[in-house]
Amino acid sequence: MAKFLPAIAIFFIGVGSIAFGFTPSGLLEIHYINVQTAGCALVIGPNGTIILMDGGENGDGTSDIIPYLQSIGLTTSDALSYIIACHLDSDHIGGLDEVMNGGYDVTQRVYYNGSTKSNVYTTAFFNAAIGTTAGPAQPMPLGTVLQLGNGATATCVAVHGNILGGGSVSVSEENDKSIVMLIKYGKFAYIYSSDLGGGDDDQWCTGRHTATNYANVETPLVQSLCSPSGANLLSATIGVEVAHIGHHGSEGSGNHDWANYLTPRIACVNVGTGQSDGWDFPRIDVIDNVFLSGTPACVTAPPSIVLQTEEGTGTPNTYRSYNGYCIGDIVIKTNGQQLFLVSGSGRLHGGPDERAGLGLPRYFPMDEDTSDHISPATVTDLHCVGGPGLNQIKLIWTAPGDDGSSGQNAYYDIRYCPEASGPINSTARWNAATQLTNEGIPKTGGSVETLIVSGLIYGNSYYFALKATDKNLNVSALSNSPRGTAGPAPCTYVPGDMNGDGVLIGGDAIYGVRYFKGIGLPPPDSCSDASLPGNGYLYVAGDVNGDCEYRGSDVTRLISYFKGISWIDYCYLFPPPVLRPGPKSTNQHK
């Protein structure tokens, strides 16, 4: 029976000025590091606050966690802000000392769950913490709030059987003493529960059964989080976007209330090698019956998408589930507004890489509201112009809205292909085209959108197309598919036409003389040059000696041309479409 506390204690801890060797993305990031059947999750706040929750089994720190940190740009010169040992079993703390002893300092706090469990792994963990800037590990107070920047927070909502706003549960198993962290950013919510127990009160329906004395901490916790009389940190109708599946998908965690209250769109589980015979994680009773809503008599939540670090191991039998998606390290990023992005590394020790089957990387809407079925309008005026740089093409189009042409769509998917593979006018060609990564944030419907595509081959032609997606993942139809050529648009000037009237006559020399004496107007702009400030223009029509500059010597050359003793030489960077006849017409720089 839960004992209700009279008040909720909240402890706010912030990180002030932070110096980084890496560049924070400005997003909230969640990384499930693939330590197989062990536990490890990394959280990076919008301001770069770094929290490492759990650290896998002995050896995982060296073989998996440190290499992963380095792969995302976190080197030993970058300190972690916090380490949280959510409970003291070896498969969750065994690699933490390796991370700290491997050069990763901790600047703010090293937390643990207050357990008295003691063995060689706990000793190594506590000793390593002493050597950090944060100092000795401290029990994490219930209600601690870690500030992650831009309003994002990580709150301790349960520890050692104590529940924020919901009393306490008598616990004896180390798993049930787990720290539980609720991470929120804008409209996005994620809960990490380590190996927290959920009892087996729903065995009659889900088939979940635990032979160990696991308590049901999950039910009173989610009830408090979703209740105005409890912690009241979550909506009772929306819950969270992403939920942790505790204890690697064993039957001791992940009960029907955990799914029904939280209604996660995505459910994540650390699983893989490292299991003893007979464990058979993740279990069908948890994955299929609870998170995939296979038992409607007690699970009323819509089915989640289950993400696994990899496949379970052992002899296949009737207990282990194969219906989650194995994607390696799981990565979730969001700006807390409308969508969150899910991707995977594909770094697997065994089993299939199932990222393609889920279409990863993939955006998901922030809540369960799917009442909007109106797609953004189809873009029909996409067109291309060359440049401004030699390896660039500029795209221009009218922004569609959220619903048709009104409002603001959430993001663009813009793709291109070489001229020989286009135009992009079918599903097959769209799927085969290369997706851009710098589409930017869409403007309000009806606005003019521009995008410069770089990294192309000068002089080569490409086809382009795009789709727009709104916040409820309604996707527009495929746009038109124009062709563009990399490099500045061809100049239409006449060499020597200094006054811009389209013909080459003696008046052009007079115009140039007046200009250089400071008594006439500048020559008309003729060709853009991306190397100039603000992508400026060259007076290239006035360049008749071929040095790609406009000087007094060009006027002298032009006078010599009219006298029949010289020739016109154009700028090799901007060849004109038509060469005018003269005594000699050449270009020695091309």
The set of residues, in sequence order, having a beta carbon less than 8 Å from that of 381 and lying 6+ positions away, is 397, 398, 480
Are 399 and 542 in the same domain?
Answer: no
Q: What is the pLDDT of residue 7?
A: 38
Task: Indicate whether 341 and 442 sit together in one domain.
Answer: no
What pLDDT does 397 receive? 93
Tell me the Ramachandran region of residue 64: left when phi exceeds 0, alpha when psi lies from -120 to 50, beta otherwise.
Answer: alpha
Name the residue among 264, 277, 341, 354 with its Cα closest to residue 308.
354
DSSP state of 65: I
- Asked if 458 and 579 sit in the same domain, the reply is no
Decide if 82 is inside a domain.
yes
C-alpha torsion sign, points 510, 512, 517, 518? positive
Helix, strand, or coil (residue 90)? helix
Residue 447: which CATH number? 2.60.40.10
On whether residue 501 sits in a domain, the answer given is: no
356 and 402 together in one domain: no
User: Residue 500 falls within a domain, yes or no?
Assistant: no
pLDDT value for 589: 38
Same domain, 393 and 537: no
Question: Cα separation of 430 and 417, whole Å?
Answer: 9
- Which of residues 485, 517, 544 is at a domain's end? 485
User: Total structural domains in the chain?
Assistant: 3
Task: Say which CATH number the domain at 335 has.
Answer: 3.60.15.10
Give the pLDDT means over successive 10-residue stretches in the chain (590 positions).
Answer: 36 48 84 94 96 96 96 92 97 97 97 97 98 98 97 97 94 96 96 95 88 88 95 90 93 92 95 73 90 93 94 71 93 90 92 89 74 82 82 91 86 95 92 88 91 91 94 87 83 83 88 88 70 58 85 91 87 65 41
Residue-number span of the structural domain to which 425 is assigned: 383-485
Residue with token string 């998917």: 413
pLDDT at position 168, please? 94
385: closest CA among 528, 285, 487? 487
Question: Do 229 and 311 fall within a single domain?
Answer: yes
Query: Are 458 and 540 part of one and the same domain?
Result: no
Q: Is residue 5 part of a domain?
A: no
**pLDDT, tens digit (0-9, with 9 covering 90-100), for 524-542:** 777 765 444 444 567 888 8
Q: Is residue 376 part of a domain?
A: no
**Does 1 map to a domain?**
no
d(C-alpha 488, C-alpha 473), whole Å: 36
**CA gap 246, 498 in Å, rounded:** 76
* 423/481 same-domain check: yes
In this structure, are 420 and 293 located in the same domain? no
The answer to whether the Cα torsion of 55, 56, 61, 65 is positive or negative is negative
Q: Is the pTM of this model over 0.75?
A: no
* 275 within a domain of the structure (yes/no): yes
Reported as a single tens digit per residue, the pLDDT across 6-24 is 334 444 555 444 444 577 8
Q: How much is the pLDDT for 147? A: 97
Regarding whether 226 and 197 lie in a shared domain, the answer is: yes
What pLDDT score does 117 carry? 96
Query: Is 2 within the bounds of a domain?
Result: no
Q: Taking a C-beta distance cutoff of 8 angstroms, is the pair 104, 66 a contact?
A: yes
pLDDT of 259: 95
Q: Are residues 160 and 211 in the same domain?
A: yes
Single-letter amino acid code for the residue at 496? G
- Read off the tokens for 69: 């940190």
141 and 286 co-located in one domain: yes
